[in-house]
Amino acid sequence: MKAIEIERKFLVRNDSWRDCAGIPHVLQQAYLSRDENSVRVRLIDGRSACLTIKFRTAGLAKDEYEYEIPVEEARDLIRHATGHVIEKTRYRVLHEGRNWDVDVFAGAYEGLTLAEIEMAGEDDLPALPQWLGREVTGNKRYSNRAMAEASRQPPLGACGG
């Protein structure tokens, strides 16, 4: 299914978001390509899986195609990862009528927590929760794909400089 993805991403300042967090989902995701576009496989709670293809466009928008795939195929594809397999627990957090995804990383990026929000358009101005730290939208070192390809971790400072 095709969608346009427009999102902003932030470091997380503290754990107060947990008071409004929904049911967590454990994600494993791997990238299968190294060019400017991305092919990602994601295993969700070990019970469902999807294959996502993203194409960069102008600004914050990305064309995104996502398909549900069998779990066993996802496990097989993850073995073909280019770089690290990203491990994280995702929480959906409601703030002023909008859903935020808060990712608590494990494995190579344990200690890193990022929040992102999907927007209707690039000029969308969602209310920012107090628990957010520095915005890292567009900072490639905090993209999951770049983290999967990195030979070393980004700084883990919650608020950063």
pTM recorded for the entire structure: 0.87
Contact 144, 86 (CB under 8 A): yes
Look at the block and give the residue holding tokens 């994600």. Answer: 27
Reported as a pLDDT band with limits 50, 70 and 90, residue 151 is: low
pLDDT digit string, tens, across residues 84-113: 899 999 999 999 999 999 999 998 899 999
User: Is 109 in the active site?
Assistant: no
Residue 130 CB-half CA count within 13 A: 5
Contact 141, 154 (CB under 8 A): yes
Mean pLDDT of 28-51: 92
Active-site option among 31, 91, 109, 142: 31
Backbone angles phi, psi at 144, to 5 degrees: -60, -40
The domains located in the chain, with CATH, are 6-149 (2.40.320.10)
pLDDT higher than threshold 90 for residue 51: yes
- The share of the chain scoring above pLDDT 90, in percent, equals 61
Q: Determine how β-strand 132-135 pairs with β-strand 98-105.
A: unpaired
